[in-house]
Structures are given as structure tokens and as C-alpha cells.
Amino acid sequence: MDKALTGIRVVDLTNNQAGPSCGQMLAWLGADVIKVEEPGKGDVARYSQRDRPDADALFFLSFNANKRSLTLNLKHPRGQEVFRTLLKTADVLLENFGPGVIDRLGFGYAAAREINPRLVYASIKGFGSYGPYRDYKSYEPIAQAMGGAMSVTGFPDGPPTFTWPSIGDSGTGMHCVIGILAALMQRHATGEGQQVEVSMQDAVVNLIRVSLRDHQRFGHAMERTGNQLGAGVPGTTYRCRPGGPNDYVFIFVQQQMWHPLLRAIGRDDLIGDARYETQEARWHHKTEVDTLVDDWTSKRSKHDAMKILADAGVPCGACLDTGEVLTDPHLLAREMIVEVEHPARGRYVTVGNPVKLSASPTTIGPSPLLGQHRNEILAELGYTDAQIRGLAAEGAI
């Protein structure tokens, strides 16, 4: 079965997470994503945080599934020649080099457009290619700090806090996917490609727009509120049995859910009690309400508490730890946690595609070994076996 992006070729020059996560999503959707890597070295993620010496790191495997790998020396004249040939066949070029690097290699947007006017040229940068910070480098925590996310994360008596969900890296990657797909759609009308740029800071700012809205509503910088969600009560985490570090549930109750909550926890006697009957009243008696709910949840496991409240129509989520996520029956049923066979590692568990297309289901494959598809891709570009051997002997591939 053809996939949604069958026929689209993506040349992926990216390393680490932000760019590779973008390329992986395009590959999951059916694009032919060719990961171009430095010979003998490859993406730094292959060996950073490596958990075993005979295989690529799980970090690399997490962001490079379904791709093909071509080793190419972009500093070698013959390697650059091969790269130009590859670009002529490409629909998308994806890069996340540091400021100015790809221009010095001779493949900035203007040069790439000369090679292939239909090319969608996608760049992920820490701060973008213009603006006062354009020459600054960035990583995930820096993007969260500069995008404002850290300032609103954590508890009131603690410092600004980094959050582990990668809103700066993978969040930027998903924004870039949207830009690439939009540019490909526009190309249908114009016949020409264009440049797509997403900065990590910009992506984080987009993701904290609610906090920015609240700044304008209240006229001051937003404070850290821990797990409390707005003025909703109940609207935070509550303890569960047996009392481990992740034995909590998050409960959030809007006005129409208050009575169902009381019935579910066996406190029908409080229905109609003026102290708790409205959201404003519950906020004024927040400590009492939180204690009331906590007394009930603390006598139950988080999964039992979640099921009872969810069955009553009350939003409640168990705080799953990473092991529970990897074995969660709902995620397994939705193929969000899948097993993949890798030529070096054997079978391993990884994350599936969160985007579900009815006519284009995703099959999750392994990430490529370094240079695994080199000869195959070069043959597709018209190079003979003898020419490939010559390029290898010169150090171009």
C-alpha cells in the first residue's frame, strides 16, 4: 500500500533530536528519508549515551526509524559532487547545522535552489537565521529557558524548572514537519520550492501561549504554581496507595463534574453544600476540598482511582512512570509502544507514530546502520560499482 508521502524524497543532514525527529515523522508517513552522515562517524547520537559498545545508542534509534543511511564527505570535492546529484532528485532538504556551517559547505538556500528550484529547504536553528540571537547556539534547556517555559514550570518556592518532555527539540521537529508539508502543498500550485525555518525558541513560545495569554490577562509575569491547574478545584495531583514516588493521580473538575465526583467518592452528603457548590466557593475552601479528595485517593491505587472517577465522567489520570508507559495496555493497543527488530541490537521496544491515518497505517522499522544503504542509494543515482569503489578509495563517501 502506498503511504501518504510515497514518492517524496527527503535528504536529512540533521543530528541529535530536533532535526531527526522531523525526518523520522516524514519517514513514518512514507517519505524516502536518506540520512546523510559523515563517513566513519555519523550522527553524534549514534554513540552519545551509548548503553552497549556493539550497537548504536537507543537515543539514536528513537529518532531515526524507517530511514536509509548514506555516508558522504561534504568537505571532499567528489563528495560534494555526489551531494549535488542527490539534491537534484530530492523534494526536501532538512538541516540543523550550527549558524553558518551549511553556507560554508556551499549548500546554503541560494546555492541549493540553483541546483533544484523545486526543493523545499527546511532549517532548524536555535534562534533562527535573523534577529539579535541568530548566531547563538542552543540546546533543549536553553530553548525552554529562552522561550519562557522554565519560568512557569515548577513550584512557587523553587527555581525555574526544566521539563523532560522535549518541547524544544521534538516540539521544534514537529513544527518543522508542518512547515515542510505546507511547502510541499504550495509547490503543487507554484511548481517551486521554498525555505522553511523553525527556531527552537519560536517553537517553545508557541507552546506556552496560554501562559503568555495569562500575563496579558493579569498584567504581570506568571508565577510557578506547581501542579495546580488554574483556579480549578479539584485541579492538582493527589496521593494514592501504596505511596511510591509516582503513586498519584491528576484530577481536574469543572463545575458540571462536581456532583459526579462527590457521588463517586461517596460524599453525596456534600451535594448542595454552599461552601463547595461553585468553582469560586471551592477555590476559597481549596485546602478543605483537596483534603477531602486526597483522603479518598490515598486509600486506593492510582489505577483504581482513575477507573472509578473516569467511569463517573470525571477527568482523572494516573501518573504513569516510564516502565508503566512502556507496558500500558491502551498504548499497546494503539501501537504507540512497539517492538522492532534491529540488525545489531536484536528486538527492542520503541515509540510508534502518534499520527494515525486510516488509509496509510505506519509500519515502524529499525534505524539504519551507518552507511547501510550507501551503495544502494548511489546506484539509484546512476553510479556504477566501479565508480562507487573509486569514491570510497578517495574518501568521498
Each residue of 172-198: pLDDT tens digit? 999 999 999 999 999 999 999 999 999
pTM of the model: 0.95
Whole-number mean pLDDT of the chain? 97
Q: Which residue has the cell 528486538?
A: 347
Average pLDDT over residues 53-79: 96
**List of residues 6+ apart from 379 with CB closer than 8 A:** 385, 388
User: Long-range contact list for 155-164, CB < 8 A, 24+ apart?
Assistant: 155/224, 155/225, 155/226, 156/223, 156/224, 156/225, 156/226, 158/224, 160/224, 161/224
What kind and span of H or E run contains 267? none
**Average pLDDT rounded to a whole number, residues 104-109:** 96
For the chain, give every domain's residue range. Answer: 9-207+330-394, 235-323
Active-site residue set: 169
SS3 173: helix
Q: For the chain, what percent of residues have pLDDT higher than 70?
A: 100
Cis peptide before 234 (omega within 30 of 0): yes
pLDDT score recorded for residue 279? 96
Residue-wise pLDDT tens digits, 224-264: 999 999 999 999 999 999 999 999 999 999 999 999 999 99
Contact 57, 47 (CB under 8 A): yes
| C-alpha dist (Å) from residue 43 to 104, 128, 130, 238, 277 | 19, 22, 26, 42, 58
Q: Which of 211, 210, 208 is nearest to 220 (CA)?
A: 211
Please determine, for residue 380, whether its predicted confidence score (pLDDT) is greater than 90: yes
Question: What would the mean pLDDT of 259-279 be, rounded to a whole number?
Answer: 97
Asked whether 127 and 200 are in contact (CB, 8 A), the reply is: yes
Q: Output the pLDDT for position 205.
A: 98
Q: Determine phi and psi for 334, rounding to 5 degrees.
A: -90, 5
Cβ neighbour number for residue 6 with a 10 Å cutoff: 12
Q: At what angle do helices 18-28 and 170-190 cross, to 10 degrees?
A: 50
Question: Please, are residues 24 and 61 in contact by the beta-carbon 8 Å criterion?
Answer: no
Q: Over range 23-29, report the average pLDDT.
A: 98
Mean pLDDT of the 288-295 span: 98
- The string of DSSP codes covering 199-244 is EHHHHHHHHTHHHHHHHHHHTSPPPP-TT--TT-SSEEEEE-BT--
CATH superfamily, with its number, for domain 235-323: formyl-coa transferase, domain 3 (3.30.1540.10)
Return the C-alpha cell found at 332. 499497546
- The one-letter amino acid code at 68 reads R
Contact 35, 26 (CB under 8 A): no
Long-range contacts of 100-109, Cβ-Cβ distance < 8 Å, separation of 24 or more: 100/135, 102/13, 105/74, 105/75, 105/80, 106/80, 107/74, 107/83, 109/195
Residue 359 scores a pLDDT above 70? yes
pLDDT bracket for residue 1 (50, 70, 90) = low
Contacts of 174 by beta carbon, 8 Å cutoff, 6+ apart: 21, 22, 25
Q: What is the pLDDT of residue 49?
A: 86
Q: Assign domain 9-207+330-394 to a CATH class.
A: alpha beta
Question: Residues 6 or more apart from 247 whose CB is under 8 A from it?
Answer: 239, 240, 241, 301, 302, 319
Each residue's pLDDT tens digit, 361-371: 999 999 999 99
How far are the Cα atoms of 89, 151, 177, 199 from residue 127, in angstroms, in the given order? Answer: 30, 19, 18, 5
Query: In sequence order, what are the residues at sequence separation of 6 or more whose Cβ sits closer than 8 angstroms to the Cβ of residue 214?
Result: 222
